[in-house]
Amino acid sequence: MMHEEEELHSSHQHHDVELQTFSRSGATLRNNSFDENSLLADMEMGEPDIGDVDSDSKSAQSKLKRGAGVQLSLMQRLRNFSRSIAKRIDVFSSKGSRYHSRTIDLNNNGGGTAPAKITTTSYPANVTRNQKYNFLTFFPVVLYNQFKFFFNLYFLIVALSQFIPALQVGFLFTYIAPLAFVLTVTMMKEAWDDYKRWRRDVEVNSQSFQQLTDEGLVTVPSSAIKVGHLIVVNTNQRVPADMVLLRTTEKSGASFIRTDQLDGETDWKLRRAVAVTQKLPSDAALLSFKASFYAEKPKKDIYSFVGNCMTVDEANRSQVEPLSAENTLWANTVVASGTVVGLTIYTGPESRAAMNTSSPQTKVGLLDMEINQLSKVLFGLLLVLSFIMVVIKGFKGIWPIYYFRFVLLFSSIIPISLRVNLDMAKTVYSLFIMRDKHIPDTVVRTSTIPEELGRIEYLLSDKTGTLTQNDMVFKKLHIGTISFSKDTLEDIREYLHATGTSGTTTAVTEPSPMRGYRQASTRNKTAWRVHEVVMALALCHNVSPVIDDQTQEISYQASSPDEVALVKFTESVGVTLVGRSVSTITLRLPHNQIEEFEVLQIFPFSSERKRMGIILKHTSTGQIIFYMKGADSVMARIAMPSDWLDEECGNMAREGLRTLVFGCKRLSERHYQEFVQELTRAKSSIYDREEKVAAVLQSIETDLELLALTGVEDKLQDNVKDTLETLRNAGIKVWMLTGDKIETATCIAVSSKLVSRTQGIFTLLVHTKEEAWKELNDFADKGDSCLIIDGGSLQLCLDNCPDLFVSLACKAPAVVCCRCSPQQKAEIVTLLKKNGKRTCAIGDGGNDVSMIQAAHVGIGIVGKEGKQASLAADFSITQFSHLTRLILWHGRNSYKRSARLSHFVIHRGLIISFIQAVFSAMFYFAAIAIYNGWLMVGYATCYTMAPVFSLVLDEDVTEDIAFRYPELYQQLQKGRELSYRTFLLWVMQSIYQGGVIMLLAIFLFESSLINIVAITFTTLILSELLNVAFEIHKWNRWIVLSEVLTFFLYFASMFVLRSYFDITFIFTWDFMWKVAVLTVVSCLPVYLASYIKQKYDPPSYTKLSL
């Protein structure tokens, strides 16, 4: 394996050298002549070896000297060279992979709708398919997914056992009907969901697009697009496949795209057309243009792309233009400006969108796991009860047959309908949440865990955009000697007016960084310093102005609200950004002077670099200047030493401001040209392109002149303080995980009241394992103190003493983790889960997705950072303050209702099983079913389902009490609603009611035992209706309607099911008063016991409601 890696590295390096040599040799080869027959023979033999390029060049020159008369097609050499690169890369780097790099010849389109010539045709169709099943796999797959669970398999075995005569204990459909009902509901749900997926797929795959061919524009469906097709995409149209942007109608040569459906970010992204194709006179010229495009093999990373465009100009000179992600249009993005023409490079499952689409891990709630445990207990109870019946009967005859028959008789103990009822209830809870007018635009994306909102112990929150608005407002500007704030903006305007009246321009004429000071010696030095700083703020960014056609008002579009805040600040002092294209930036100065700068290079911000840079050329003076801004930790190493930067950064951070450091460096023309050559060489590299580009950038990012430090404020979201206080009173501990500095995070923690005034603050900053142990032990001796820790110290604790760290951190009232990476956020969540804590993570950005998906409950906020967190979360909200209602109200109701619904469904199966047990015991332990056929089916469905399910509409407390006394939530965290204690109480109630109904019926109706079925079944139905009524806290019309309709439905069914009910006997007073006595004796003691308990040990919420 090591040998292969070394060979791959050597091969790729060889490719880079050959590519550069080949490019430089274009001018030499343009007039060479070769033997055409020899060239064709070489082509028939296959692709030339990459290692023979130099020898081919020397051979070309020798043949030129010998006067050969046939000219070699340099374009063909380019194609063969590109294919050889792709072939070599695939041989080494694609071993065991189904993805391959590719080279596409643009001028070999061939007309019609055929794609351009490519190195291989084994590319997937451009078809979107999100269906889980097809006609052949639907039934097998659905049935497998159902019967892989033990209890469904158990009921299948029970149903099949009824085909064996010796095991028959009732009508066959009595056992098949409940299972068939569950399977039917499941299949209908799966079929409907898959049908909707199929409809969406058809809609996407049938969308029409225009393909550029020799016959003109041809309309093709999305599913017919292939690698190599030239596709025209209009404004506001979805991009159907991954493409390289060849041309755009925008004069700037670049178009904006919207990527919110790909990465969740709402800001527009700028994409640049390939320069050589953008210069063509028309789109049709692409069909005859000689170009070869190399694209790396497909991968998930949407932020990087390695490719090359290799062309030959009119003078037969070879040119190589490197391609990056800014030259691409990924599938499912939307063109926001202009009409573009793209070359398709990846289709279908090889597109970035498809490769990043994965089914998230299904989350299972704690309540489901508790029910699973109780189901195992019920199964054990079933086996024990059946064994007791056999023991009492005596091991006579074929007792194993009798044992199995008893198991079948008591099979109602296992509530097969419990999962269906809970799934339906969770759907209802989800609808309640999404229709709540107090939390508008809330979306439930995972409907299987709404009850988990009622069990949260730890809330892990991002800071920026979650606790804060991500709405940046300029607050401070420090230029080394003077600090400006919003209150001193007029001073800045005066300084700018003073420099503007002198008639000089912004760019100095000498490359020395100190030129500005020497020039300012006769003027106000401070004014020129302010001038230079404001110009840096107005130029170093990726902001694009958008001018309203009607009002002529300027708005700004950018990926970072920090940049918009600073550009708005420069506008407020008189330096306005009025124009931005790919190649130029235009500013309007205080005296309406227009300054234009040529954009030479842009180095975008990335989370790894933590800085962005731009190289500009002043169109009037020709001065080249390199501006850079970034985090203070990075810029302190790049800029010249300063005695004020660290101190001022700390001061601003303590005020809760986000800081950016600005620097600049003036470049000579020679220095810049040398840099461009090195950068072009690095960008043209196929292997390790990113590392080589980074190395070239580092060569210029040295000795920057430190210009200024800016501070912007990120406002707290509405009602954040009240929300955090309410959650704290509810027993939920809040941890803030952020990437900001310790000072900024600490300030936000205090201002948001995450840390109360009475609590201390313990800051943990360590560099070694020993220091970590010592500091943690010191923290253990602290009392009521908030723990604040940075990313490096956190990693030391996670690597060396995770258990000690989490145990001490959990004792703290609050924890703030600063300089925290996305991976560390997820690790903290995982560590808490391993220690048995119920976690909820909330964030608004892509860096919060890992944390959100790792938590038991993930909540995403739709914010200015986009929808990525919202789309990945289980619940999506629009404001942090909505958490209060989501957790304290909907979480409480979902958990309490689900627990009580589970109790009743379990009780419904237990009581009828105990009635069956008493009946068998009273009649010589005969394994004969007392209730058969439609009675069993009706009992599980229409006779009891509506009243029991109506419990999902009940409320044990009012909204006012739930919010006024958040301490009530602490009772839910203990999980007592579905504990073994409550389960045992319901088992005892079922034993009592089942035994009383059967024993008292036999005693009272001794002379009418022929009607024992009608007597006991009627009492059973009435008892269940009363049991539900006793449990209701707040009646509403739907609950009343379910009780009344169920009663009349049962009464009406007596006239239909005459084989079970003797109508003449039922309408006698003897039947009525005795059934009434049975019902009262069955229910009254249960009600009295509940009343006494409520009287002497009332729940906490009943005390508050008085």
Active-site positions read 462
Is 686:308 a contact under the CB 8 Å cutoff? yes
Is 252:582 a contact under the CB 8 Å cutoff? yes
Place of tokens 């109701």: 893
**Which CA distances in Å does 570 have to 557, 567, 590, 626?**
15, 5, 10, 19
In one-letter notation, the amino acid at residue 853 is: Q
**Which CA distances in Å does 1061 have to 976, 1014, 1047?**
42, 6, 16
Which of 589, 590, 591, 587 is closest to 619 using CA atoms? 587
**Which CA distances in Å does 249 have to 256, 270, 334, 893?**
12, 14, 15, 56
Query: How many Å is the Cα radius of gyration of the chain?
Result: 38
DSSP-derived secondary structure for 530-581: HHHHHHHHHHSS--EEEE-TTT--EEEE-S-HHHHHHHHHHHHTT-EEEEE-
Place of tokens 């020898």: 55
Report the distance separating Cα 78 and Cα 312, nearest Å: 9
What tokens appear for 558 in the block? 């950018």
What tokens appear for 220 in the block? 């093709």
Is 947:1043 a contact under the CB 8 Å cutoff? yes
Please tell me whether residue 785 adopts helix, strand or coil conformation: strand
CA 564 to chain centre: 26
Which of 1105, 1104, 1088 is closest to 1096 using CA atoms? 1088
Report the distance separating Cα 783 and Cα 776, nearest Å: 13
Beta strands per DSSP E along 288-402:
291-295, 307-312, 318-323, 328-329, 334-335, 340-346
Report the distance separating Cα 1087 and Cα 1093, nearest Å: 10
**Which CA distances in Å does 412 have to 459, 651, 909, 911?**
40, 70, 5, 9
What tokens appear for 70 in the block? 């046939």
Taking the CA of residue 137 as centre, how many other CA atoms within 13 Å lie in the half-sphere pointing to its CB?
7
User: What is the DSSP-derived secondary structure letter of residue 1048?
Assistant: H
Please tell me whether residue 60 adopts helix, strand or coil conformation: helix
Task: Report the 3 state secondary structure along 1024-1056.
Answer: HHHHHHHHCCCCCHHHHHHHHHHHHHHHHHHHH
Which helix (H) or strand (E) segment holds residue 1065: the answer is helix 1063-1066
**Residue 168's CB: how many other CB atoms inside 10 A?**
16
Q: How far apart are the first and last CA of the chain?
A: 75
Report the distance separating Cα 647 and Cα 607, nearest Å: 24
Q: What is the dihedral of CA 384, 385, 391, 394, to 10 degrees?
A: -140
Report the distance separating Cα 799 and Cα 937, nearest Å: 58
**Residue 473's CB: how many other CB atoms inside 10 A?**
15
Is 890:867 a contact under the CB 8 Å cutoff? no
User: What is the DSSP-derived secondary structure letter of residue 888?
Assistant: I
DSSP-derived secondary structure for 412-427: GGS-TTHHHHHHHHHH
Q: Provide the edge-to-edge strand list for the sheet that holds 291-295.
A: 117-118, 102-105, 291-295, 307-312, 318-323
Is 846:264 a contact under the CB 8 Å cutoff? yes
